[in-house]
């Protein structure tokens, strides 16, 4: 009977609960909109089954390896797809320009307007679009990415808007062809880091318990993938990431970098093969160097001479580049134009460059009809141009060799004129307010410089065994390596051409060129951009301020930070939380002794305030919160270089500076930025 009574009571309770739930549902449905009155969702069972299988699939993938490895693979594939899509779009725009120019053959006035207005319109559109949508999307992007990888927070440089703006603006820049003479490596590295940031966020959603500093590791990997997806060269892409992008590269990042770069390079080459650009999987720039005798031993001296020449010319180019950057920042007319009328400035500069490269004007002596890829492929040709001839009447398509070696312009005059004109034209093009890369033009320029030396050597020694293409390969590696102060262009030249027969002389020439370019603490191209933009990147700033890294912290520390004593009450904690934004608040034994005992997290201090308001307002800080120990302490005698290295290597948020155990101050990335800006404001 008791069980029946209990069952009846339970049934009555259930009915009452159901009635109450029904009344609540009726009230809420009455108050809600008629469109939302029915909470029923379609296909609930199929959706539940799909969700269950997705969870099982995630567990299965997670048991093989961590989700971040799938993120690395996705990063390489997505970046390669973007690279192929960009190349495909640029190729269509270049073909349209060439088709229109050839259709107007016979009317030089219309051809002039076609040749000049086409790149002008593209540059004006790219400049205005970038300025109005995302003003900081112009330029290379590598200096900003290097600053982000060090640890400075610049979230607007990794946004979706920035990604779309830079991608479309870069297509417009590249479609200008050899007239504008700009590349895509720098901006594409920036695009790759943007993709890496969102892949990292996606991995965080799938795998919440992700390790610390995973975002930075993904961005370091993305920097190498950007180069690998441009040329299909994974090894040089990783080396580029080590040399240029990361001031401190951890060994644990090598395997993810190589894995993602290999995925990107393979995907890029597969897309090129599937699109019909190549008959098989081959190098980006096809070459056919002789393998029996690549070079004579005594030619090493000529390669060393080529390295000296590339280093000297790179010093001249870097000096002109720094001078024109300084001029554009100090000239009042250009400053005003670059702030308010970027489209007008881009149009004027593009029109001037297009007029100079017009094929019926000076462009006939610079092979201006050829694209960047055609220029580089022709310069890397193994045969001697002086011993080859072409019949222009039987050519159905554009022959790059005929552009270099025609009857109107001798070979040596064309190459010399090309080198002289492109030097100042490239310096002028670097001031364009458009998304643009500067590595590929320098690479092509070095190939032309090496080709001139190789053709001159073959002519002087009257030897048919000298391969000018090998000198062009070494010149491209040496000159681009001297401009960027790196050795990765040498390996990039081997991977992009598939020629390792000239590995020793090309690497030797690159080392010699680097020795000349690095003398007297000259900053590299990317260092000059960082200095010009006042970015707090210490490896760049110490090129112009050698004393900067050795400056003691005691001379540059600002106002003493907010601190808490161990027995602080709610009022003191509330004042510290409201007057400080640091995530780690230092805790001292007492305000009189200033002996540092640890730090408390800002989140725990807020919990202490809520606890004191709700339960016991009389408790002290050390009775509720955990005072964390400090693993790394700095002295006022430590240098800026040491603090900068520790922040970069360990990814630390805060470094505490003590003198004899007493708290002197703290170093964070915002504080480091303030210190560097104060010290280099007169640069």
SS3 string, 113-152, reads HHHHHHHHHHHHHHHHHHHHHCHHHCECCHHHHHHHHHCC
**pLDDT exceeds cutoff 50 at 28:** no
pLDDT in tens, 121-158: 999 999 999 888 888 888 888 988 888 888 777 778 88
Q: What is the pLDDT of residue 280?
A: 46
CA 589 – CA 591 distance, rounded (Å): 7
Is 186 in contact with 437 (CB distance < 8 Å)?
Answer: yes
Q: For 29-33, 52-56, 578-582, which range has the lowest pLDDT when averaged over its residues?
A: 29-33
Top-confidence residue, 381 or 396: 381
Query: Which of 141, 472, 442 is CA-nearest to residue 318?
Result: 442
**What is the pLDDT averaged over residues 201-217?**
71
**Adjacent-strand bridge partners of 596:** 588
Exposure of 194 by Cβ count < 10 A (0-12 exposed, 13-18 middle, 19+ buried)?
Answer: buried
Handedness of CA 229, 230, 234, 239 (dihedral sign): negative
Name the token pair of 425.
Answer: 């034209």
Angle at which helix 160-174 crosses helix 185-206, to 10 degrees, equals: 150
pLDDT tens readout for residues 561-611? 788 888 888 888 888 888 888 888 888 888 888 888 888 888 888 888 887
What is the rounded distance in angstroms from the CA atom of residue 269 to the CA atom of residue 507? 26
53 versus 414: which is more confidently predicted?
414
Residue among 535, 359, 324, 579 nearest 438 (CA):
324
- Mean pLDDT is highest, among 211-225, 381-395, 507-521, 567-581, for 507-521
Helix (H) or strand (E) holding 655: strand 655-659
Q: In whole angstroms, what is the distance from residue 296 CA to residue 310 CA?
A: 21
Do 32 and 41 meet the contact criterion of CB atoms below 8 Å apart?
no
State how far the alpha carbon of 10 is from the alpha carbons of 3, 7, 13, 24, 80, in Å.
10, 5, 5, 21, 65
Tell me which fold the domain 553-679 belongs to. Answer: CBS-domain (3.10.580)
Q: In the numeric block, which tokens belong to residue 580? A: 């400080």
How many CB atoms sit inside 10 A of residue 229's CB? 35
Record the tokens describing residue 147, joined without a space: 């600053």
Q: Hey, where are the domains in the chain? A: 10-64, 299-387+400-540, 553-679
Q: What is the mean pLDDT of residues 240-254?
A: 79
The pLDDT tens digits of the residues spanning 635-659 come to 888 888 888 888 877 767 788 888 8
Helices first, then strands: H and E counts in the chain: 27, 6
Give the integer Cα–Cα distance in Å for 635 and 11: 73
Question: Length of the chain in residues, anyone?
Answer: 683
Residue 34: its pLDDT value, please? 41
Question: Which residue is associated with the tokens 């070494």?
Answer: 474
Q: H or E element: which one contains 237? A: helix 234-240
Question: What is the SS3 assignment for 351-364?
Answer: HHHHHHCCCCCHHH
pLDDT digits (tens, 9 = 90+) for 412-439: 888 999 999 999 999 999 999 999 999 9
* Side-by-side strand order, sheet with 584-588: 564-565, 584-588, 596-601
Q: Which pLDDT band, with edges at 50, 70 and 90, does 112 fall under?
A: very high
Spatial separation of the C-alpha atoms in residues 170 and 442, rounded to whole Å = 18
Cα-atom radius of gyration of the chain, to the nearest Å?
Answer: 31
- Reported as a single tens digit per residue, the pLDDT across 465-523 is 788 888 999 999 999 999 999 998 999 888 888 777 788 899 999 999 999 998 887 88
More confident of the two residues 253 and 74: 74
pLDDT reported for residue 314: 94
Which DSSP symbol is given to 552? B
Structure tokens that stand for 509 in this block = 């020439």
Return the pLDDT at 7. Answer: 43
Cβ atoms of 524 and 483 within 8 Å: the answer is yes
CA distance 188 to 288: 29
Instruction: Please tell me whether residue 651 adopts helix, strand or coil conformation.
Output: coil
Cβ 675 vs Cβ 666: under 8 Å: no
Give the phi and the psi of residue 65 in degrees, each rounded to 5: -160, 175
Residue with tokens 């259930």: 14
Looking at residue 27, its pLDDT comes to 42
From the list 637, 677, 630, the residue with the least C-alpha distance to 655 is 630
| Furthest C-alpha separation in the chain | 120
Per-residue pLDDT, averaged over 305-325, amounts to 93
Domains 299-387+400-540 and 553-679 share a fold: no
Check residue 478 and give its pLDDT: 94
pLDDT at residue number 535: 84
Angle at alpha carbon of residue 632, lines to 144 and 586, rounded to 5°: 90
Q: Is the dihedral of CA 516, 522, 525, 527 positive or negative?
A: positive
Tokens representing 329 are 């920042």
| φ, ψ at 600 (rounded to 5°) | -120, 140
Task: Output the average pLDDT for the chain.
Answer: 81
- Residue 629, helix vs strand vs coil: coil
Query: Model's pTM, two decimal places?
Result: 0.81
Return the ∠ at Cα 676 (arms to 584 and 332), rounded to 5°. 130
Structure tokens at 101: 């120019």
Q: What is the pLDDT of residue 159?
A: 86
Q: What angle do CA 172, 174, 176 make, to 5 degrees?
A: 75
Structure tokens at 354: 């297009």
Q: Examine the pLDDT at 40 and tell me if it is beyond 60.
A: no
Q: How far apart are CA 477 and CA 372, in angstroms?
A: 16
Give pLDDT, residue 603: 84
- For 564, phi then psi, to 5°, come to -125, 145
pLDDT at 23: 43
DSSP assignment of 576-598, as one string? HHHH---SEEEEES-TTT-BEEE
Q: Which fold has domain 299-387+400-540?
A: Clc chloride channel (1.10.3080)
The CA distance from 612 to 244, in Å, is 51
Q: How far apart are CA 127 and CA 432, in angstroms?
A: 8
Give the residue among 124, 194, 137, 123 at the shortest CA–CA distance from 165: 137
Q: Can you give the pLDDT at residue 316?
A: 94
Q: For the residues of 417-457, what is the DSSP string, one character each?
A: HHHHHHHHHHHHHTT-SSB-B-HHHHHHHHHHHHHHHHHHH
509 - beta bridge partners?
none
């Amino acid at each position: 009977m008791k069980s029946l009574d209990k069952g009846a009571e339970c049934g009555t309770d259930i009915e009452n609960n159901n009635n109450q739930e029904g009344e609540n549902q009726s009230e809420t449905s009455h108050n809600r909109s008629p469109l939302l009155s029915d909470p029923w969702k379609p296909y609930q069972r199929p959706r539940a089954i799909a969700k269950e299988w997705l969870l099982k699939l995630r567990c299965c993938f997670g048991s093989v390896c961590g989700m971040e490895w799938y993120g690395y693979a996705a990063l390489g594939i997505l970046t390669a797809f973007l690279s192929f899509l960009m190349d495909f779009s640029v190729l269509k725009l270049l073909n349209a320009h060439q088709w229109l120019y050839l259709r107007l053959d016979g009317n030089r006035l219309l051809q002039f307007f076609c040749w000049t207005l086409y790149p002008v319109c593209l540059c004006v559109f790219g400049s205005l679009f970038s300025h109005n949508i995302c003003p900081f999307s112009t330029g290379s992007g590598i200096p900003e990415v290097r600053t982000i990888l060090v640890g400075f927070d610049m979230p607007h440089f990794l946004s979706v808007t920035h990604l779309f703006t830079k991608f479309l603006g870069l297509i417009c820049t590249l479609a200008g062809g050899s007239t504008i003479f700009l590349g895509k490596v720098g901006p594409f590295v920036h695009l790759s880091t943007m993709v890496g940031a969102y892949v990292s966020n996606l991995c965080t959603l799938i795998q919440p318990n992700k390790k610390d500093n995973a975002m930075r590791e993904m961005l370091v990997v993305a920097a190498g993938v950007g180069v690998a997806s441009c040329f299909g060269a994974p090894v040089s892409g990783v080396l580029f990431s080590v040399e240029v992008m990361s001031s401190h590269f951890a060994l644990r990042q090598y395997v993810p970098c190589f894995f993602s770069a290999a995925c990107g390079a393979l995907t890029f080459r597969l897309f090129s093969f599937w699109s019909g650009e190549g008959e098989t999987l081959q190098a980006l720039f096809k070459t056919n160097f002789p393998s029996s005798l690549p070079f004579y031993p005594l030619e090493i001296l000529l390669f060393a001479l080529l390295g000296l020449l590339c280093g000297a010319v790179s010093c001249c180019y870097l000096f002109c580049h720094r001078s024109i950057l300084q001029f554009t920042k100090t000239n009042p007319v250009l400053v005003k134009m670059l702030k308010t009328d970027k489209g007008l400035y881009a149009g004027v500069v593009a029109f001037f460059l297009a007029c100079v490269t017009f094929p019926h004007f000076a462009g006939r002596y610079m092979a201006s009809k050829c694209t960047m890829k055609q220029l580089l492929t022709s310069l890397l040709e193994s045969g001697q141009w002086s011993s080859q001839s072409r019949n222009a009447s039987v050519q159905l398509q554009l022959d790059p060799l005929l552009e270099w070696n025609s009857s109107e312009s001798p070979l040596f005059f064309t190459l010399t004129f090309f080198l002289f004109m492109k030097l100042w034209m490239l310096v002028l093009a670097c001031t364009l307010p458009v998304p643009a890369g500067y590595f590929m033009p320098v690479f092509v320029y070095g190939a032309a410089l090496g080709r001139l030396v190789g053709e001159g050597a073959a002519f002087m020694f009257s030897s048919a065994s000298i391969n000018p293409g090998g000198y062009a390969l070494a010149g491209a590696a040496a000159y681009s390596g001297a401009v960027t102060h790196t050795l990765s262009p040498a390996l990039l030249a081997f991977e992009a051409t598939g020629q390792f027969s000239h590995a020793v002389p090309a690497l030797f020439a690159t080392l010699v060129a680097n020795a000349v370019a690095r003398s007297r603490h000259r900053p590299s191209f990317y260092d000059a951009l960082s200095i010009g933009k006042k970015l707090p990147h210490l490896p760049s700033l110490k090129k112009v301020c050698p004393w900067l890294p050795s400056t003691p912290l005691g001379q540059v520390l600002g106002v003493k930070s907010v601190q808490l004593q161990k027995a602080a009450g709610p009022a003191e904690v509330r004042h510290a939380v409201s007057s400080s934004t640091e995530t780690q608040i230092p805790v001292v034994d007492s305000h009189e002794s200033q002996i540092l005992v640890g730090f408390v997290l800002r989140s725990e201090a807020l919990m202490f305030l809520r606890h004191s308001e709700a339960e016991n307002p009389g408790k002290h800080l050390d009775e509720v919160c955990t005072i964390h120990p400090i693993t790394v302490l700095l002295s006022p005698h430590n240098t800026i270089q040491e603090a900068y290295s520790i922040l970069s290597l360990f990814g630390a948020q805060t470094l505490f500076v003590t003198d004899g155990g007493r708290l002197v101050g703290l170093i964070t990335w915002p504080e480091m930025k303030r210190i560097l800006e104060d010290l280099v404001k007169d640069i």
